[in-house]
A and B are shown apart, each in its own frame.
Chain A
Amino acid sequence: GALVYQYPRRTICKSGTSMRMECQAVGFQATSVAWYRQSPQKTFELIALSTVNSAIKYEQNFTQEKFPISHPNLSFSSMTVLNAYLEDRGLYLCGAREGQDTQYFGPGTRLLVL
C-alpha cells in the first residue's frame, strides 16, 4: 500500500537555528508533494506545493528563503526551516499525492523552538 514516512518525528531547536525535515513516499510514485503546517491551535496552512520538474509554488506568507524545498525525484522531498522562531512551531505534514486525487500524509515532524 501507499505509505509516507517523515523524519524526524520530533525535533527541538534553538531560536534562530535551522532544521531540515524529510519526506519519503513508499509504494507509489508521488506526482506532487505538499508541505503543510498544523499550528498548535490545530489549523492547517499550506506552505508549498512541489511537483517534480515544475517550479515549487509557495503560498502567501511562506517563501523559499525561509522554507527551501528540495524535490529531486518522485519519492523524496525535503524542507528546511531556516532561522526558526517561536511562530514556526507546529506539526509539519508532508502530503504526497498519488495520481490525480488522494493525498497521503506522513506522521509529521513536530517542531519545538526554544
Chain B
Amino acid sequence: GEQVEQRPPHLSVREGDSAVITCTYTDPNSYYFFWYKQEPGASLQLLMKVFSSTEINEGQGFTVLLNKKDKRLSLNLTAAHPGDSAAYFCAVSGSGTNTGKLTFGDGTVLTVKP
C-alpha cells in the first residue's frame, strides 16, 4: 500500500525565517494531497489541498509544491511566526478502491522562536 515519509520530524526556526517540510509518497496513482496543521490538544485543520493538475498553490503565508515526477510534496512557510508553532501533517489520498483513505506522514513538530 501507499507509504508516506515526512521530514523532518522536528524543526525549529526563528521568527521571520522560512520553514520547509517535505513528504515523499510511493503510489504513482495517488491523486489528492493535503496539508494539515494540528495545534496541541486540537484536531486537524486543513491548510491546503492539492490535486494532480496543480503544482504550486499559495496560501496565507505558505506555499505548497507538488512534484508528481519525484512523488514529492512540500510545504514552505515563507516567514514563520510563533503562531505557526504546531504539528504539521501531509496526507495522501488513495485512488480507485482506496478513494477516501488518507495515508498520513508521521508529522513535523514546528517550533518558531520569537
Contacts of A101 in B (CB 8 A): 32, 49, 51, 93
Instruction: Write the nearest CB–CB distance from B23 to chain A, whole angstroms.
Output: 13
Total A-B pairs in contact (CB under 8 Å)? 50
Q: In the complex the two chains form, what is the Cα distance from A100 to B89 in whole Å?
A: 20
| B35 lies within 8 A of chain A by Cβ | no
A44→B89 contact, CB < 8 A: yes
Which residue on A lies nearest to B103, using beta carbons?
A46
B51→A42 contact, CB < 8 A: no
Check A34/B101 contact, CB under 8 A, given A105-B43, A106-B43: yes
| A108 lies within 8 A of chain B by Cβ | yes
A31→B87 contact, CB < 8 A: no
Q: In the complex the two chains form, what is the Cα distance from A32 to B101 in whole Å?
A: 10
Which residue on A lies nearest to B33, using beta carbons?
A101
| B44 lies within 8 A of chain A by Cβ | yes
Instruction: Write the nearest CB–CB distance from B65 to chain A, whole angstroms.
Output: 19
Q: In the complex the two chains form, what is the Cα distance from A36 to B42 in whole Å?
A: 15
A residues at B contact (CB < 8 Å): 31-32, 34, 36, 42-44, 46, 49, 51, 91, 93, 95, 97, 100-108
B residues at A contact (CB < 8 Å): 32, 34, 36, 42-44, 46, 49, 51, 87, 89, 91, 93, 99-104, 106-107
12 inter-chain pairs at a CB distance below 8 angstroms, sorted by A residue, are A31-B100, A43-B104, A44-B89, A44-B102, A44-B104, A46-B102, A100-B99, A101-B93, A103-B34, A103-B93, A105-B43, A107-B42
